[in-house]
Amino acid sequence: MTDRPTLRRWLSWIEGLIPAQLRRDPVTRRRSLLALGILGANTLVGTALLVPLSLIRQPDLRTIALVNTSGCLLLMLLGVLFLRRGSLWLAGNWICGILYAGFVYAIFRGGGVRAPFAICLALLPMLAGIISGRRSGLAWGFISVATITGFYVAQAGGVELPDINDPDTTVMLAFGALAGTSILVTWMTSFSEATKEAAIVQIEAASTQLAAAIQEEEKARHAADQAIAANAAKSAFLATMSHELRTPLNAILGYSELVVDELRDRGGHDDLIDDIRKVHASGRHLLGLITDVLDLTRIEASRLELSPTDFDPAKLLREVAEIFIPLALRNNDVLTLDLADDLGEVHHDATRVRQVVINLVGNAIKFTRDGTVTVRLRGDPDLFEIFVEDTGIGIPIDKIERIFEPFTQVDASSTRRYEGTGLGLAVCRRLVSLMGGAIEVRSSVGRGSSFTVRLPRRYTIPERPVSTTTSAF
């Protein structure tokens, strides 16, 4: 296919005249282009025809010919209006109708089938077919043949249709009609070819683009598959690793406790006891970290299974609060419970609910000095909500969403005051969403934070296996 930028530029200029609704599909777009091109050519040829017509020597005939031709041209241009309003059918048939009226008049006055303009009726089926479609083309073909047959039958039957032209004029008009018709036929066919070529170029470009897009999509899908496989392999590796690490670590914790007891019994080893307590504290920190990593990777790999049972959430919250009383005292915090006691039992994995609450209450006390930590329980027939509110240091608004990301801490400096791994809330959010609920936080720096865990009263096993798309690390 030859690349013709000038032609395409020209076509795209004409295209600017086509209304948007006709530009949407390639067939009507092309027909509209052709309609405009043909209208332009008809106008040019028709205007050129005015020159020989103005040379007609009989004044009456000259006037009739000029009025007929220019009237037809002007009325024909109304076809552009129909096209701009989006009707190709109306545009094509209107143009053909006007030309038909003009040609039939010229044939009638010019001696019937002998008339120079009789040949012009052949243009109509072509015009209508190109602009308005095959059916209109066939209809105008029928009308043209029927008209010329009608003239022939009438004339053969003896009807006299006087030729009002003198012989010179007849020759001149026959020349004009033949030349005009030939020019228009040539123009219509070559213009039709040109738009077809342009359409093919566009279709080729679109299919190349489509093929490229399909290739890209395949590549992306392949990469996504690889990433999912890598993520699953990573999760499986971490789960195994964490499990393997916990066993010796538990031994270290157990033995360090034994050694402390032993040294205390022997007496006089306070320095050693302090050191071993540090070992024990670091071991506990590491164990917490490993447990969180294990939970996260299990959730990521959809390997964490929940074991729902019926339990009383108020009782669970009271138990958790009791665990934290010593820590609250150490931070000079008041730990209060506000529990709706008529809530009854819920159906969930109690261990996991406890884990979430322990995390939230632990954080609340950790980040509150000389303040209040309140654990509230509310519910309705469908949901229950656990609120953990504190009057502690609060969280800056720009960090509030990030605290649920793994290893994220508001104060990440090496000299930070608060211990922690930055994994607790990441695990909490994933656990709560696995249980079919949501966790929310509201906070204000210096005034405190409020975490809300909202869960359905009954955990129902999801129909499809839960899989998280984001990676924990």
Taking the least distance from each CB to ligand ADP, the nearer of 129 and 394 is 394
Mapped onto helix, strand or coil, the DSSP state of residue 33 is: helix
Phi, psi of 102 (to 5 degrees): -65, -45
From the CB of 417, what's the least distance to ligand ADP, in Å?
A: 10
- What is the sign, positive or negative, of the torsion defined by CA atoms of 441, 466, 362, 379? positive
389 touching ligand ADP, by CB under 6 A? no
- What counts of helices (H) and strands (E) characterise the chain? 13, 7
42 touching ligand ADP, by CB under 6 A? no
Q: Read off the DSSP letter of residue 304.
A: P
Dihedral of CA atoms 407, 408, 410, 415 in degrees, nearest 10, equals 30
From the CB of 414, what's the least distance to ligand ADP, in Å?
A: 14
Among 423, 434, 453, 472, binds ligand ADP (CB under 6 A): 423
Bridging pattern class, strands 346-348 and 383-390: unpaired
Bridge partners (DSSP) listed for residue 372: 334
392 touching ligand ADP, by CB under 6 A? yes
E strand residue ranges, 26-116: none
DSSP 339-387: E-TT---EEE-HHHHHHHHHHHHHHHHHT-SSSEEEEEEEE-SSEEEEE
| Touching ligand ADP, residues 401-420 (CB under 6 A) | 403, 408-411, 420
Rg of the Cα atoms in the chain: 45
| Touching ligand ADP, residues 324-363 (CB under 6 A) | 359, 363
Taking the least distance from each CB to ligand ADP, the nearer of 386 and 393 is 393
Per the listing, tokens 């899908």 go with: 221
| Touching ligand ADP, residues 286-315 (CB under 6 A) | none
Question: What is the helix (H) or strand (E) element at residue 451, kind and residue range?
Answer: strand 448-456
Taking the least distance from each CB to ligand ADP, the nearer of 254 and 396 is 396
Neighbouring C-beta atoms of residue 195, cutoff 10 Å: 23
Among 34, 53, 425, 439, binds ligand ADP (CB under 6 A): 425
Taking the least distance from each CB to ligand ADP, the nearer of 118 and 317 is 317
Bridge partners (DSSP) listed for residue 390: 373, 449
For residue 70, what are the contacts with CB-CB under 8 A and spacing of at least 6? 50
364 touching ligand ADP, by CB under 6 A? yes
Among 32, 144, 355, 421, binds ligand ADP (CB under 6 A): 421
From the CB of 405, what's the least distance to ligand ADP, in Å?
A: 9
Among 32, 136, 235, 449, binds ligand ADP (CB under 6 A): 449
* d(C-alpha 443, C-alpha 449), whole Å: 4
Count the site residues for ligand ADP by CB under 6 A: 22
Part of the chain binding ligand ADP (CB under 6 A), chosen from 44-52, 118-126, 334-342, 424-432: 424-432
From the CB of 468, what's the least distance to ligand ADP, in Å?
A: 17
Query: Considering all CA atoms of the chain, what is the largest pairwise distance in Å, rounded to the nearest integer?
Result: 146
From the CB of 445, what's the least distance to ligand ADP, in Å?
A: 9
From the CB of 374, what's the least distance to ligand ADP, in Å?
A: 12
424 touching ligand ADP, by CB under 6 A? yes
* d(C-alpha 78, C-alpha 101), whole Å: 15
95 touching ligand ADP, by CB under 6 A? no
450 touching ligand ADP, by CB under 6 A? no
From the CB of 399, what's the least distance to ligand ADP, in Å?
A: 7
374 touching ligand ADP, by CB under 6 A? no
Taking the least distance from each CB to ligand ADP, the nearer of 61 and 410 is 410
Residue nearest ligand ADP, CB atom distance: 420
390 touching ligand ADP, by CB under 6 A? yes
Q: Read off the DSSP letter of residue 466.
A: P
Provide the CA 211 distance to its chain's centre, in angstroms: 20
From the CB of 296, what's the least distance to ligand ADP, in Å?
A: 11
User: 118: closest CA among 94, 90, 147?
Assistant: 147
Point out which residues bind ligand ADP (CB under 6 A). Answer: 359, 363-364, 367, 390, 392-395, 403, 408-411, 420-426, 449
